[in-house]
Amino acid sequence: MKGFMVPLATLTNFVLLSSVTTTEPVLRPWKENPWYWSYHGEPVLLLGGSDDDNLFQWPERELIAQLDRLASAGGNVIRNTMSDRKDQGFEIYPFKQLDSGLYDLKVWNEEYWQRFERMLLQTADRRIFVQIEIWDRFDYSDMNGSGRWQIHPYNPANNVNYTYDQSGFAARYPDHPGANKQPFFFTTPNQRNNQVVLPYQQRFVDKLLNHTLKYDHVLYCMDNETNGEEEWSRFWAKFIKEKAAKQNKTVYLTEMWDDWNLTADRHKRTFDHPDLYGFVDVSQNNHNKGQKHWDNFLHVRNYLASQPRPMNTTKTYGATGNKFGHTDQDGIERFWRHLLAGAASMRFHRPDSGLGLNDKAVACIRAARQLESLLPLWSIEPVNELLSDRQDNEAYAATDGRGRTYIVYFPSGGEVRLDLSEASEILTIQWINIDTGQSEPQGRLSGGSQISLSSPGKENWVAAILTPHN
């Protein structure tokens, strides 16, 4: 078995491949450049896409086919929400349903956890990293007539463990999640200290960690695009870190705030606490376009510069015809802008809000890996100041800062001037068509001055400009 540290044998007989416990995490920010991840001490760039957010719920055949497609494209990261919205028919809850139809929150539905273990095992086998989101506010809502709260086991009408009066829950939450009115997200001691519901929530996270802490390819995010209180997030972040520490494990976690404006104070709840949040997720930047999208990401990078850590974007939005009015091209551009700007992890969001793992997403991932084969992408920094005669969103640049490596991305054709003053040698240029994966024959450029650089076509193109020995 190639891949991560995983349990041997089957889903019902867990024997750890390694019984050695250590406080040194295998997946961690790279010591030489903490903007990026490392695995076993070697830098690793996380690229991915998937056709759903909670792949662990998928039937086994479909799950394996999706992971194989991702791995064959060069992808190595998925998002996994612990979600159970029942929208697709095959999703199940983590709790046992009794003959009466009610759920017992003290008894597990073993199939749910077998599915979760299978996903962890299969991703580990393929060296695919997993960013888990523990709570998804959309699962506990009746907004827009979804009725998810009406059938959920945590609703007192559906379990044998507590009543409406005991839990403080209401029968309906039509304004949640937009208005953040669901008491489910106010249970922690520094909020409403709901000692009826909180123990069941803690028990769920304990069970989750019983599975994940056996592996070394997992990252944790507390919520999906939350508008909640800071204390909710901090409680669960500390809870997870403390549970991991008792097993001599170090884990990395974050929170995903819903605000599309990365300069908003809400994001500082994560940015300002590197001791608790070992990486940041800026997925909601993907609601922005063009130059604003690039500038917002660089704002966060500059803000974090004194204590750099990986910046993940687990949801790259953009697909033609979706409710946000984005296009396929928007999704491709966001992926490549983040790549050049220094993101540590990029994943295409599921359809219809993103490209998922369709042919265009696969082509993007393959093109990025082709570029990575020419130069280490964790060695570059964004440098649009090296471009002139440039229109907004016409081109984006990155360099190693030593005059040896330059990358220029053109979203849809164009011509700019590139300052190669720091390059003292003859350089090679390799063009890659992101849309097709095809490469142009290598050419040569002279360093030492500004040059005119034209995209070979109107598609998405990226140029790798290198010293011959690079």
pLDDT score of 323: 84
| Cα four-point dihedral sign 206, 64, 320, 367 | positive
How far, in Å, CA of 322 to CA of 302, rounded? 32
Q: How far is CA 31 from the centre of its chain?
A: 21
Q: Of the candidates 310, 119, 76, which has an alpha carbon nearest to the alpha carbon of residue 208?
A: 119
Among 162-171, 318-327, 411-420, the range scoring the smallest mean pLDDT is 318-327
Sheet with 46-49, strands from edge to edge, namely: 253-254, 218-223, 129-135, 77-81, 46-49, 345-348, 311-316, 280-281
- Please tell me the least confidently modeled range out of 166-170, 318-322, 346-350: 318-322
Rounded distance, CA 253 to CA 234, Å?
11
Arithmetic mean of pLDDT, 308-319: 98
The CATH number corresponding to 381-466 among 2.115.10, 2.30.29, 2.60.120, 2.60.40 equals 2.60.40
- pLDDT reported for residue 470: 59
Whether 347 contacts 314, CB under 8 Å: yes
Is 356 in contact with 387 (CB distance < 8 Å)? no
Give the three-state DSSP class for 97: strand
The CA-based diameter of the chain, rounded to the nearest angstrom, is: 78
Rounded percentage of the chain residues whose pLDDT exceeds 70: 94
3-state secondary structure of 410: strand
The residue ranges of DSSP E strands in 109-243, in sequence order, are 129-135, 218-223
Inter-residue contact 282 to 295 (CB < 8 Å): no
Structure tokens that stand for 139 in this block: 């699962």
Residue 145 sits at φ, ψ, to 5 deg, of 75, 20
Cis check for the bond before 411: say yes or no (omega within 30 of 0): no
Residue 84: pLDDT band with limits 50, 70, 90: very high
**CATH, domain range 7-379:** 3.20.20.80
Helices (H) and strands (E) in the chain, counts: 10, 24
Q: How many CB atoms lie within 10 A of CB 344?
A: 25
Residues 372 and 75: their CA atoms lie apart, in Å, by 12
Give the Cα separation of 350 and 317 in Å (integer).
8
Where residue 4 falls among pLDDT bands split at 50, 70, 90? low
Is residue 453 within 8 A of residue 417, CB to CB? The reply is yes
Gap between the Cα atoms of 215 and 249, Å rounded: 10
**Euclidean distance between CA atoms 417 and 453, whole angstroms:** 6
Tell me: the pLDDT tens digits for 250-286? 999 999 999 999 999 999 999 999 999 999 999 999 9
Under 8 Å between Cβ of 217 and 4: yes
Report the predicted TM-score, pTM, of the whole model to 2 decimal places. Answer: 0.94
SS3 state of residue 79: strand
Q: What's the Cα-to-Cα distance from 115 to each of 7, 82, 351, rounded to whole Å?
A: 15, 11, 22
Pick the closest to residue 228 from 111, 135, 163, 340 (CA basis): 135
Give ranges for CATH 2.60.40 in the chain.
Answer: 381-466
Q: pLDDT per residue over 291-308, tens digit each?
A: 999 999 999 999 999 999
The pLDDT assigned to 12 comes to: 35
Query: What is the structure's pLDDT at 3?
Result: 54
Tokens (6 digits) for 223: 């919520």
Cite the DSSP H helix spans in 216-358: 230-246, 268-271, 290-303, 328-341
Tokens matching residue 118: 């299978």
Distance CA 14, CA 29 (A): 29
Which of the four pLDDT bands, split at 50, 70 and 90, describes residue 203? very high
- Residue ranges of the chain that CATH labels 3.20.20.80: 7-379
